[in-house]
A = this chain, B = another copy of it.
Amino acid sequence: MIKPTETELEILNILWQEGPSSVRIVNEKMNEQKEVGYTTTLKLMQLMTQKGLVKRDESKRTHIYNAAVKAKDLQQTMVSKLMNAVFSGSAGQLALSALGNGKASKQELDEIKALIEQLENDAK
């Protein structure tokens, strides 16, 4: 899986959230966080198209872009990268750090418990 840069990731997030969008839309969203010129965003999205991170519909004058990678897939890739980079490959340590850190909903916590049960059963 191709690794997006920091900025490319922001764009992917916007596309995942908003669905198929024009450069203008994406640029507006980007500007909610930080000022970025229109052509900057355009160029980025063109490069992302080349890299295969997004695909676009060129049938209209205003091209419509959409993410070409699934959020789930990229999450997996990046988690595993972080796991190796700073947790010596330990999934458990990473999970602990995440839970200790931010917030998780009751439902997510239950899911995690269920997953753990399953992992422990598989291990037997």
Q: How many of A's residues come within 8 Å of B, CB to CB?
A: 45
Contacts of A111 in B (CB 8 A): 92, 96
Question: In the complex, what's the smallest C-beta–C-beta distance from A100 to chain B, in angstroms?
Answer: 7
Question: In the complex, what's the smallest C-beta–C-beta distance from A12 to chain B, in angstroms?
Answer: 8
For the complex formed by this chain, how many copies does it contain in all? 2
B80 near A102 with CB under 8 A, answer yes
When A71-B86, A86-B74 are in contact, do A116 and B97 touch as well, CB less than 8 Å? no
A95, CB-defined interface residue at 8 Å? yes
Q: Residues of A at under 8 Å CB distance from B?
A: 6, 9, 13, 71, 74-76, 78-80, 82-83, 85-109, 111-113, 115-116, 119-120, 123
